[in-house]
Amino acid sequence: MSDLLFREATSASFADFPGTTLEPVDVAVIDSGVDATHPDLAGRVASQWTVEEAEGRLTALELETGINNDTFGHGTAVAGIIARIAPNARIHDIRVLDARNRGDPTASLVAFRHVLAKRHRLINMSLAIPASQRDALYKLCESAYQRNQVVVAAKRNVPVTDEGLPAEFSSVISIDNHNVPEMTLRFIDQGLIEFATLGNELTVPAPGGGYTVKTGTSFATPTVTGMCCLFLGRWPTLRQFELKTILKARADAAV
């Protein structure tokens, strides 16, 4: 990353990005599904998938694009935040959670392998995978890093045995929720979680065409995914460690 690019990326106003020519960026949303019929997401969802059992094993199954694939409302909110921030985001919906916002943890691994194979540049994971899948998930995140596919993952709202997987891994960009001004970042200089942004009382799209208010790390995470989508649209060759450097340089004092 050149000094000039670094200066531009760290000083550019996010408000100015839509006025520039941005390359489209493929963004995978591994979640509860996305309502692609919502006005905020109409025409923004490039593919829709579900991970379900087929012929005795969990498989990513392609669905008709442009449908309501959301079983809970979580994924539509996440995708809506990304779409609002980044007009160049081309969203790929992969449903792994059910109507109770729960899912087989191995379904998330199947979804992860699917998006790696599709080479989607950004992967939003506003969910935490159980520690029982740590080793397999670690290998997948390392593979994403080597392929220059960027994973943005949420810290657990309530830590259990971990602070959130894959958020704990150094190969991803990890996000916490703090009450800071919208579209600003905090850098966290201790622990495994690196950045924090606003995830409180956000008005977000809801399945069926309406809106709701959400709070949590799940909704802070897509804000940073949207930021990264703008950076990659402007400077497509950026690597993950360069994105982290830019984010840290833009962040306020440590919390």
pLDDT by residue (tens digit) across 2-39?
888 999 899 988 888 877 789 999 999 999 999 999 99
Domain count, the chain: 1
Per the structure, the complete domain to which residue 78 belongs is given by: 3-250
Residue 174, domain member (yes or no): yes
Q: Is residue 255 part of a domain?
A: no
Residue 176 lies in a domain: yes
Q: Is residue 25 part of a domain?
A: yes
Residues 6+ apart with CB under 8 A from 35: 41, 68, 69, 70, 76, 205, 206, 207, 208, 209
Residue 68 is assigned to a structural domain of this protein:
yes
Res 2: pLDDT = 87
Task: Tell whether 33 is covered by a domain.
Answer: yes
User: Which pLDDT band, with edges at 50, 70 and 90, does 80 fall under?
Assistant: very high
pLDDT of residue 254: 43
Six token digits for residue 124: 């939003």
User: Can you give the CATH number for the domain in which 7 is found?
Assistant: 3.40.50.200
Residue 79 lies in a domain: yes
Share of the chain above pLDDT 70, in %: 98
